[in-house]
Chain A
Amino acid sequence: MMSEMFEYAPAPESRSAVRIEDSYGLFVDGEFVSAKRTFPTIDPATEEVLAEVAEAGAEEVDLAVAAARTAFERVWGPMSGRERAKYLYRIARIIQERSRELAVLESIDNGKPIRETRDFDLPQAAAHFFYHAGWADKLEYAGYGTTPIGVAGQIIPWNFPLLMLAWKIAPALACGNTVVLKPAETTPLTALAFADICRQAELPPGVVNIVTGGPQTGRLLVEHPGVDKIAFTGSTEVGRAIARAVVGTGKRLGLELGGKGANIVFDDAPLDQAVEGIVDSIFFNQGQVCCAGSRLLVQESVAEELLARLKERTATLRLGDPLDKNTDVGAINSAAQLARISELTASGEAEGAERWSPECALPERGFWFAPTILTGVALSHRVAREEIFGPVLSVLTFRTPAEAVEKANNTPYGLSAGVWTEKGSRILSMAQKLRAGVVWANTFNRFDPASPFGGYKESGFGREGGRQGLEAYLAQ
């Protein structure tokens, strides 16, 4: 993809920045404890086993919830907001201090490029703790009361493991709750490193408990009677099951689920930045982003020019070793995810879309999928309706602003949308009409702890981040 004259030599970040243990226990009540069963976590770029990780069963989940309950009642709940704040600031600082180690670890366990873990995941994770630390002693000004809910059971996905942990744990702790967090089965390592950060911060035992495991562990946590609040980020399917599981229990619920974001480009858009925005919207994190702009809606009058530029730009993306600082597109997180991406993309082709990828050699081992653009997609195609969660862009066209809105909103999801146009009034009109929790105008995939994030419709309910995000962890 690059000129031979100026081929970048490999520039790998050193693995020695992190020491991965052979095996990891659960983090319960401030201690690492073993479980009866374990499961391996692998490096998706090489398929090498990185470590054996404990799988929490009923007994271990019980212990974790009990530890969280005790910590809530005896220590964390009664503690003043001012003191809680200082713990969170400490954690934020330690994340910054250990950011290189954590970035490398995240890239190894998840497969995402080091450029992203280093420049996005880690700074954002630290920022979330800083932001929420400041709320801990100011809750009376937020408008949701100051009473914590109790023990929060939190289940996070594998696409931004440490960042999603921060999104969950920082507000919960700031509001005075204690947590039992289950990281995703394929990406447990940074959560376990976070457990060590809690120890370094001298966080009281039981305030944060990490239970690793698969769907069964998640189910145990959701159904545990000692849990007062469930916060889940993941697929809409699982979200639905959780919503049913909490019926009649009185548990509070927050869901951040799937999306099929429309990224709308008008013919007067700043085209080069739109191209960058499209690349960011679908190839960032290998497209494994719930708010990805996976449907590109481009005005017909500019479609040809835009697509030519987009393909040219996509061809410059560098796919490969996640630890290489020049890598733009890393590995897909798991074999299962790769299979899903492959199957859906093939269905797009079968249904009549035209498939394009730049010439790009995929490594032999590991899970890889080349950046892919499907053109000629219709709303009726599966690739325009189902979340692919991979580096696959479905391109549709429109003629008028009204048609763009109609197509953008024609989905059960409502998480994100993008608008590209130089016309101010059109931006505001589109932003008003799009039924999505976040609208990026002339930009895409921007995040900030002060900015509430969450979906409309089947993309879930509740917000994370900002003042609004506190509501999820306060009893009103």
Chain B
Amino acid sequence: MPSKSKKPGSAGRPEPRGAAAAGGAARLRVRKTYKLFIGGAFPRSESGRSYVVNDSRGEFLANASWASRKDVRDAVVAARRAFGGWSGKTPYNRGQILYRIAEMLEGRGRQFVEELRDGGLSREAAEAEVDAAVDRWVWYAGWADKIAQVAGAVNPVAGPFLNVSTPEPTGVVGMLAPRESPLLGLVSVLAPAIVTGNTAVVVADSPLVAVTFAEVLATSDLPAGVVNILTGPREELAPWLAGHMDVNAVDLAGASEELANACETAAAGNLKRVLRPAATDWSADPGTERMTALLETKTVWHPIGV
């Protein structure tokens, strides 16, 4: 979403990006190394590869990690390991942690505004996106202890049985973050997945925003491995994720039609639940569909007798 109102140079930045200003008075800025986020840690790609990320004017911003299929594998292992603990937490606790994510995101708002502007958004658009992303976490945080009441039921069966349907998380979800909305889109696919207890491996679209967002997650009491973020070309990584036999679902929000088809075919290998890409207004009210799509209904029967 290129912005029309983009001015040269990001206003509000403490100092110009790149080399220190001439004159020697200005301080050399300490840059951040953008790495992957796997199992709560920030490793480089095991492949040692990286790729250049430029801003919307084509100027160098950073070398991002170019994740490999082995990073996908490691991320899935981390997500699987985290699944039992995360899905086993009380919904109240998950809700608190999601709310904590909102708090942390709010506190880093300025940083995200800058990174979004580097990606070409106007200040207003960037601020709106950050605000919406914070609000989205707050919104989903509240769902943690309510979705089961909306999606579950005690079913009136014709016999002396208690019959209860409860939604349970599907498991490990592989995701391709939406391309058109670097932060809000990422948040809008992640939050509905993890609020119910799923864990996620997401291939990010905008690497810098995504990795900075990982820093938010890392400081939000979110257990290690619940969200794992990979950066790199999705065409290379997505098929490994979609084909992985220990992944239970894929959200292909950020896939082209061609890639989505390839991933859906690969996903059939272990009958993953597939969310196909669809035109989505990420700023609109999301409804419950993204949550329920990643839930399984479990129905438990027990006789009623004395």
Binding site for B on A (CB under 8 A): 127, 143, 236, 239-240, 243-244, 247-248, 250, 255, 257, 412, 427, 431, 436-443, 446, 448, 450-454, 456-458, 460-461, 463, 466-468, 471, 476
Q: Are the C-beta atoms of B296 and A456 separated by less than 8 Å?
A: yes
Name the CB-closest residue of B to A448.
B157
Known A-B contacts A127-B158, A437-B297, A457-B270; the reply to A450 vs B163 at CB < 8 A is yes
Name the CB-closest residue of B to A243.
B268
Complex CA gap A255/B272 in Å reads 11
Known A-B contacts A446-B301, A456-B296, A467-B153; the reply to A451 vs B271 at CB < 8 A is no
Complex CA gap A248/B264 in Å reads 8
Name the CB-closest residue of B to A412.
B270
Complex CA gap A466/B158 in Å reads 13
Complex CA gap A147/B271 in Å reads 26
What 0/1 readout, one digit per residue, does chain B (155-176) give for beta carbons within 8 Å of chain A?
Answer: 1111101010100001100000
Q: Are the C-beta atoms of A431 and B261 separated by less than 8 Å?
A: no
Complex CA gap A461/B295 in Å reads 10
Tell me the number of A-to-B contacts counted with CB atoms below 8 Å. Answer: 101
| A412 / chain B contacts, CB cutoff of 8 Å | 270
Complex CA gap A301/B68 in Å reads 49
| B303 / chain A contacts, CB cutoff of 8 Å | 442-443
Q: A127-B158, A438-B300 are in contact. List 6 more A-B contacts (CB 8 A).
A: A243-B264, A247-B268, A255-B271, A431-B298, A437-B299, A448-B159
User: How far, in Å, is A452 (CB) from chain B's closest CB?
Assistant: 5
**Out of B163, B171, B269, B289, which one reaches A451, CB within 8 Å?**
B163
Known A-B contacts A236-B271, A247-B268, A476-B289; the reply to A446 vs B298 at CB < 8 A is no
Known A-B contacts A437-B297, A448-B158, A451-B165; the reply to A443 vs B302 at CB < 8 A is yes
User: How far, in Å, is B281 (CB) from chain A's closest CB?
Assistant: 15
| B298 / chain A contacts, CB cutoff of 8 Å | 431, 436-439, 456
Q: Are the C-beta atoms of B165 and A243 separated by less than 8 Å?
A: no
Complex CA gap A244/B269 in Å reads 9
Pairs of residues from A and B, 4 with the lowest C-beta to C-beta distance, nearest first: A243-B268, A448-B157, A248-B261, A450-B155
Complex CA gap A19/B103 in Å reads 72
Q: Are the C-beta atoms of B299 and A452 separated by less than 8 Å?
A: yes
Decide if the interface of chain B is mainly helix, strand, loop or mixed: mixed
Q: Are the C-beta atoms of A461 and B271 separated by less than 8 Å?
A: yes
**Out of A441, A451, A463, which one reaches B157, CB within 8 Å?**
A451
Known A-B contacts A239-B271, A450-B156; the reply to A442 vs B302 at CB < 8 A is yes
13 examples of A-B residue contacts, CB within 8 angstroms:
A143-B150, A240-B271, A243-B271, A247-B268, A248-B257, A431-B298, A437-B297, A437-B298, A438-B298, A451-B165, A452-B155, A457-B271, A466-B165
User: How far, in Å, is B116 (CB) from chain A's closest CB?
Assistant: 31
User: How far, in Å, is A199 (CB) from chain B's closest CB?
Assistant: 29
Name the CB-closest residue of A to B170.
A456
Complex CA gap A450/B164 in Å reads 10
Q: Does B212 have its Cβ within 8 Å of any Cβ on chain A?
A: no
Q: Are the C-beta atoms of A240 and B155 separated by less than 8 Å?
A: no
**Out of B269, B301, B302, which one reaches A438, CB within 8 Å?**
B301
Q: Are the C-beta atoms of A451 and B302 separated by less than 8 Å?
A: no
Q: Are the C-beta atoms of B300 and A431 separated by less than 8 Å?
A: yes
Complex CA gap A439/B264 in Å reads 29
Q: Does B273 have its Cβ within 8 Å of any Cβ on chain A?
A: yes
User: Which residues of B from 248 to 280 have beta carbons under 8 Å from A?
Assistant: 248, 257, 261, 264-265, 267-271, 273, 276
Name the CB-closest residue of A to B267.
A243
| A466 / chain B contacts, CB cutoff of 8 Å | 153, 155, 165, 297, 299
Name the CB-closest residue of B to A253.
B274
Q: Are the C-beta atoms of A441 and B301 separated by less than 8 Å?
A: yes
Known A-B contacts A243-B271, A248-B261, A460-B271; the reply to A453 vs B153 at CB < 8 A is no
User: How far, in Å, is B21 (CB) from chain A's closest CB?
Assistant: 54
Interface-centre pick from A443, A451, A460 (highest chain B CB count, 10 A): A451
| B153 / chain A contacts, CB cutoff of 8 Å | 466-467
| A436 / chain B contacts, CB cutoff of 8 Å | 298
Complex CA gap A143/B276 in Å reads 21
